[in-house]
A and B are shown apart, each in its own frame.
Chain A
Amino acid sequence: MPAITELHVNGGRKAVEADPDRSLLSVLRDDLGLTGAKYGCGEGQCGACTVILDGHRVRSCVTKVSAADGKPVRTIEGLADGDKLHPLQEAFLEAGALQCGYCTPGMILSALTLLEENPTPTRDEIARGMNGTICRCGTYQRIVTAVEKAAKVMKGGAK
């Protein structure tokens, strides 16, 4: 397969020159400087690398960059509207739903796709829907609260 030469990221087209076997995560981070997505395990187990590819959350550490060819990619850097934070970002800050913050971008993007599928989840549904993302600092209870708060603000509408 030829090298990947362009990615559609956060609404823009970015030129790259990447071996198609490389992970989407490494191209986003190392070639495009979008370091909000994190390496946590390389196994697709922790969710720190979560980005939204063609409307679905993916583990970018186990997603080859070739899979993103021609498809829209959304990263944490594309979430706020200029200086205005997304309701999920606001809710994480309000709920104090982070300690070291390393899992936060992946958590927020996971929550975004969860709320797109289920705009009014119960706490239990949030916990089940987010179970693939790890917060080693253990702020889970606060994250559930943050997602609940954001859901109310978004009223099923905000993107």
Chain B
Amino acid sequence: MNAFLDFTEPERYELFETPTWESDRREFFRIAGAGLAVALLVCRDAGAQRRGGRGGGGPREIAAWLHVGEDSKITVYTGKVEIGQNIRTSLAQAVAEELRVPFDAVRLVMADTAVTPDDGGTAGSRSTPQTASQLHRVAAAAREVLIDLAAERAKLDRGSLTVADGKVSGPGGKPSYTFGQLTEGKKLAKAVAANAPTTPPAKWTVAGRSAPKADGRAFVTGAHQYASDVRREGMLFGKVMRPPAFHAKLTAFNVNRDEVPPEVRVIRDGEFIATVAPTAHAAAKAIDAIKTKWQTVPQVSAADLFKHLKEKARAGGGGGFGGRGGRGGGNAGSVEAGLKAADKTVTATYTVAYIAHVPLEPRAAVAEWIDGKLTVWTGTQMPFRVRSELARAFNMPEDKVRVVVPDMGSGYGGKHSGEVAVEAARLAKAVGKPVKLVWTREEEFTWAYFRPAGVIDINAGAKADGALTAWEAHNYNSGGSALATPYAVPNRRTEFHATDSPLRQGSYRALASTANIFARESVMDELAHALGLDALDFRLKNLRNDRLRAVLETAAKRFGWGKEKPAAGRGFGLACGTEKGSYVASVAEVEVAKSQVRVVRVVTAFECGAVVNPDHLRNQVEGAAVMGLGGALFERIDFKDGKVLNASLTDYRVPRFRDVPILEAVLVDRKDLPSEGAGETPIVAVAPAVGNAIFAATGQRLRSLPMTPDGLGS
């Protein structure tokens, strides 16, 4: 099971009255006005408990809250960020479901540290399994309070009342009260009780159905204001000078004052050099008037990367991404004995390159200081972490810092940090005016962080009948997640090895599981071929996990696996995997002509428990397939001596219209299971399915991502 699942632990929710709660209570009504406020309290530091298993006796904090106003308006306050995954819609659906209103009757206030609770940021596919389930409870509790209020007012048994269309009504519709009538003149605050009943997915009428993107109109008219669109009175524009290479040291600094107009400020604080001007153009021009010298140091380059990662591996793994050995697999038996017992074995090394997230909106921030208080509008998946970064940078208490995150121009795990917010705040402080700073694409490609590169070594064996006998997998650097095989193998060993990464690395959509599943599912294909078995039959023979079997069989059936035969020059490939509680299988068809690979069709079956919004889920599955194709075929960061050599969209290729195959997303809806996240997992089976299809078409086994940056045979 997914180790993150205990995060929500519903038995920990309870009525809780403390002085902290009293001040929170006052805060709710100050922010939202009179009415009904319902909050969900969880144990603070649930993350530490999750990791270390500490007891549940710690202080409580608010995970999310909602407000029903005297005007009947329903507002949810959540620290989550809208990045394009459409949780502004799906979380509203959760609340609307329980309050029996249309989804667009619910407004979400998101990711503003002044009014929303800190819930740990938007990452790890947690918004649906965690936040949505919390909001179901909060909204259900609000509904019960509204029923109580109506019962009291009507002097009727609460069991005779029904809630529909934003009203609580008695038998035959009389009497009938709007939510506003029930909350008018009240300041009623409740914490969620453990037993607040929620509506089971099978009975959903608002959740579980496609709802259009919340605020969609603002996006198609250009009215939506991203962080990079925010404008403040008197605002200036900043530009930061970057060193010529990573780890370079400043040795000389000189400004030619004749080339800098009087309205442009040059700021230097140690190695932080920047300009502030009335226009971004003037700020950039002034940077060119600053003469600097830098001392660079020799560094590991792309050509030596994989050798370096293995040489610097630390024994015993640990740390880094995903900890030791991968989750949930465990070691068992003797790999040596298993390999001896095998009729066929495969020993192979797979690699993945560093890749960039390339969010279309680069990092951007607008910072404003007023009376010693700092407000920053910025695009980040971690508003509270960025608030802490800012508080530390300026040595000030967190309550004097406010971070506001407008719905973002995407992130994909690439916007967890707050560099641009700190830089903008430094400049705004220096000039005493609001400052906007937008990173250039080159800065985004160079000074952000990358999906980790990695080396995966696998030793595997199977009997002639296809039964796996041994599986050993080692990941160097990129992470342990999904390193353990989901196939039944009596003898198995997996280990993650932390090492030294030459480039700054961090989170990415499905992070390490993409690398580990690419290696595993490719080796499964190698074994199937060595044994002369069908790739689907071989997997099914060794797969005991019903949910994974179901998506694999569904994808294969939709694709026509085993029935259709590839045309000349074409090949079929399949792969499957599980990550973050959801299950995916992809089947790909490729065409190879003149050493160029074209992906013709990708069918993906996906299961994440009860589906919340089918159309938006399909959109995520299709989008993940496209992004997965980039990493599979041509995306890679090239670097030498601390310089990124392809820091532009001219030189770093991302998928475009003409790269996109026919995409089919088949959803397996399990209304009997809790909803899991869906923004990440659908990406994991794309690369191995394509790689296996290339092998089927050409007989060439490609063991490095990207597989064909310069076409086949390079």
Contact = CB atoms under 8 A, between A and B. Distances in A.
Interface residues of B, number: 59
B568 interface: no
Interface string B608-624: 00000001100110111
B213 A93 contact: yes
Contact of A99 (B441, B623, B662): B623
B656 A134 contact: yes
Interface in B121-163: none
B219 interface: yes
A133 B658 CA distance: 11
B625 interface: yes
Contacts of A103: 360
Contacts of B442: 42
A135 B410 CA distance: 10
B637 to A, nearest CB: 16
Interface in A120-146: 126-128, 130-144
A136 B358 contact: yes
Interface of A: 19, 21-23, 26, 29-30, 33-43, 45-46, 48, 75-77, 79-80, 85, 89, 92-93, 96, 98-105, 108, 126-128, 130-144
A121 to B, nearest CB: 12
Contacts of B83: 100
Contacts of B280: 26, 30
Given A40-B441, A142-B619, A99 B627 contact: no
Interface string B260-283: 000000000000000000011110
Contacts of A132: 656
B658 A100 contact: no
Contacts of B627: 136-138
A5 B656 CA distance: 37
Interface of B: 83-86, 212-213, 216-217, 219-226, 228-229, 231, 237, 279-282, 358-362, 407-410, 412, 438, 440-442, 615-616, 619-620, 622-627, 648-650, 654-658, 660, 662-663
Contacts of A21: 281
Contact of B84 (A29, A35, A99, A143): A99
Contact of A102 (B85, B410, B620): B410
Given A26-B281, A85-B220, A100 B657 contact: no
A138 B624 contact: yes
Ranked 4 nearest A-B pairs via Cβ: A36-B222, A138-B626, A100-B84, A102-B409
Given A102-B409, A142-B622, 4 more contacts: A42-B440, A99-B85, A100-B359, A102-B226
B281 A43 contact: no
Contacts of B663: 141
B360 A40 contact: yes
Nearest to A90: B220
Contacts of B360: 38, 40, 46, 48, 100, 102-103, 134-137
A139 B619 contact: yes
A138 B662 CA distance: 13
Contacts, number: 174
B408 to A, nearest CB: 6
A133 B657 CA distance: 8
Contacts of B359: 100, 102, 136
Contact of A42 (B408, B441, B623): B441
Contacts of B658: 127-128, 131
Contacts of B648: 41, 43, 45
B623 to A, nearest CB: 4
Contacts of A19: 279, 281-282
Given A93-B216, A102-B409, A103-B360, A85 B221 contact: yes
Contacts of A34: 222
A84 to B, nearest CB: 11
Contacts of A105: 220, 222
B222 A39 contact: no
Residue of B212, B223, B237, B361 with most partner-chain A CB within 10 A: B361
Contacts of B213: 93, 96, 98, 101
10 contacts: A33-B231, A39-B362, A77-B223, A93-B213, A96-B212, A101-B409, A102-B84, A102-B409, A132-B656, A138-B655
Residue of A21, A41, A105 with most partner-chain B CB within 10 A: A41
Contacts of B279: 19, 22, 26, 30
Given A26-B280, A99-B619, A36 B223 contact: yes
A102 B221 contact: no
A43 B220 contact: no
Contacts of B84: 98-102, 137
Contacts of B407: 100-101
B224 A141 contact: no
B479 to A, nearest CB: 23
Nearest to A80: B221
A88 to B, nearest CB: 8
Given A99-B86, A101-B84, A89 B221 contact: yes
Contact of B410 (A26, A130, A136, A140): A136
A138 B357 CA distance: 13
A141 B660 contact: yes
Contacts of A29: 229
Contacts of B624: 138
A96 B615 contact: yes
Residue of B231, B622, B648 with most partner-chain A CB within 10 A: B622
Contacts of A77: 221-223
